[in-house]
């Protein structure tokens, strides 16, 4: 980026990852950041943080022009905006189509006429479906199981088609499970922390042996920033996993949280949610090789930090 400070525009800027990413860009990186979200941002709008509150899926003409101006000034767009909860996608699939597909389409249409901006499209590991115990690589087959996963894969497909058709340099990132302070309070780790603190029993969905691959949010933010600094101005299309490469069962997570909080909660078992993956583990060799990235915060330490720092937020 030729020595001049990079300008980054973040969609979904008020969300769990958007908040952590924009805070880091503004504070440690000292960059000017633009953002959009349906809901207000936690930080005030300033000269350095140029925030628009709007629905990407149904922009009014004034908002579309405003967004186009912001994107024209940006070097990189990091697209995080989405409906992001697997279980809710069964109750409100239309909302997922709207916010994960239509919103992505609207953004791409603006990027198409605002080139030469580069795009980092944040997808999800859910596109792989069950990975089995062999970690999924970026070349593994995609087999989405839930409406959430299907809408995220559709969003990826749109970005990939726009990258090829309109020469938009694009990197699709597939994060596995992320966690840390500020995460939505209905997700496994913050929900468990709150229940353990309140002395309530923990609800285990199914047998608790479902395996997930966890990365601390600050490590995820680090990878997005490394990609933003290195994404080529040449038309390219990359897919990269964001993962620890290590599988951990839900039962182990519950034990780690209870240990970190110094409590011994009672357990109650319930039926497994539809569309829950049994095993989801991702290989991170590509992120390591291409961006020199590997997670620095191990799960035990990340859980301890989250128990100590997290207040959670309403979903
Ligand atoms: N958190 C994880 O573990 C995880 C894992 C894999 C992938 N991801 C992906 O990362 C991204 C961010 O996830 P998150 O955990 O921060 O979720 P989040 O729900 O906290 O944030 C998403 C943000 O997008 C906004 N949004 C939704 N629809 C919008 C629209 N039409 N217009 C404008 N804003 C809109 C929401 O208001 C919300 O603030 C999502 O794309 C998600 O699919 C997250």
Q: What pLDDT, in 10s, does the model give residues 177-219?
A: 999 999 999 999 999 999 999 999 998 989 999 999 999 999 9
Confidence check: pLDDT of 315 > 50? no
Is residue 305 domain-resident? no
314: in domain: no
267 located within any domain: no
56-65, 108-117, 123-132, 165-174: range with lowest mean pLDDT: 108-117
| pLDDT tens digit sequence for 126-178 | 999 999 878 999 999 999 999 999 999 999 999 999 999 999 999 999 999 99
Inside any domain, residue 63 = yes
Strand partners, 208: none
User: Is the residue at 256 inside a domain?
Assistant: no
Spatial distance between the Cα atoms of 193 and 284, rounded to a whole number of angstroms: 28
Residue with the nearest Cα to atom 36 of ligand 1?
12
- Substitution candidate for ligand 1 out of 9, 10, 16 with most atoms within 8 A of CB: 16
61 occurs within a structural domain: yes
**Atom 11 in ligand 1: residue holding the nearest Cα:** 80
Q: Are 7 and 73 in contact (CB under 8 A)?
A: yes
- pLDDT at res. 92: 96
Tell me, what DSSP letter sits at residue 74? -
**How large is the greatest C-alpha to C-alpha distance in the chain, in angstroms?**
57
Residue to substitute in 24, 80, 188 for testing ligand 1 pocket (most ligand atoms within 8 angstroms of CB): 80
Global pTM? 0.96
Query: Which residues are near ligand 1 (CB < 6 Å)?
Result: 12, 14-18, 36-39, 55-57, 80-84, 99, 103, 122, 124, 152, 175, 177-178, 184
The residue to mutate among 9, 11, 12, having the most atoms of ligand 1 within 8 angstroms of its beta carbon, is: 12
In a domain, 73, yes or no: yes
- Count of other CB atoms within 10 angstroms of residue 74: 22
Q: Can you give the residue range of the structural domain that contains 164?
A: 8-179+216-245+280-296
Q: How many distinct structural domains can be found in the chain?
A: 1
Q: What percent of the chain has pLDDT over 70?
A: 97
Q: Give 59's contacts (C-beta < 8 A, 6+ positions apart).
A: 67, 106
Question: Strand 211-212 relative to strand 248-249: parallel, antiparallel, unpaired?
Answer: antiparallel
CATH code, domain carrying 70? 3.40.50.720
* In-domain check, residue 302: no
Q: In this structure, is the dihedral angle defined by the CA atoms of residues 13, 18, 21 and 27, taken in order, positive or negative?
A: positive
């Amino acid at each position: 980026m030729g020595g001049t400070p990079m300008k980054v525009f973040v969609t979904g800027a008020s969300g769990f990852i958007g908040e952590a990413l924009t805070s880091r860009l503004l504070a440690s990186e000292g960059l000017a950041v633009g953002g959009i979200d349906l809901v207000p941002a936690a930080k005030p709008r300033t000269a350095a943080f140029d925030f628009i509150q709007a629905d990407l899926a149904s922009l009014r003409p004034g908002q579309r022009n405003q967004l186009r101006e912001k994107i024209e000034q940006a070097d990189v767009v990091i697209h995080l905006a989405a409906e992001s909860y697997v279980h809710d996608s069964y109750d409100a699939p239309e909302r997922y189509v709207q916010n994960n597909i239509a919103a992505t389409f609207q953004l791409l249409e603006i990027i198409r006429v605002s080139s030469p901006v580069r795009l980092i499209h944040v997808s999800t590991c859910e596109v792989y479906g069950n990975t089995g115990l062999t970690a999924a690589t970026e070349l593994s087959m995609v087999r989405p199981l839930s409406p959430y996963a299907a809408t995220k894969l559709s969003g990826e497909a749109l970005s990939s088609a726009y990258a090829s058709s309109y020469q938009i340099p694009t990197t699709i990132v597939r994060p596995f499970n992320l966690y840390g302070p500020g995460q939505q309070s209905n997700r496994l780790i913050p929900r468990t922390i709150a229940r353990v603190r309140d002395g309530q029993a923990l609800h285990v969905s199914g047998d608790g042996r479902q395996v997930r691959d966890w990365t601390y949010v600050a490590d995820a933010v680090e990878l997005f920033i490394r990609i933003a600094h290195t994404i080529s101005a040449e038309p390219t299309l990359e897919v990269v996993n964001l993962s620890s490469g290590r599988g951990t069962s839900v039962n182990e997570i519950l034990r780690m949280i209870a240990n970190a909080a110094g409590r011994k909660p009672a357990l109650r078992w319930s039926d497994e949610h539809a569309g829950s993956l049994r095993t989801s583990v991702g290989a991170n060799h590509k992120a390591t090789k291409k961006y020199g990235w590997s997670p620095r915060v191990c799960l035990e330490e990340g859980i301890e930090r989250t128990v100590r720092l997290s207040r959670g937020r309403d979903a």
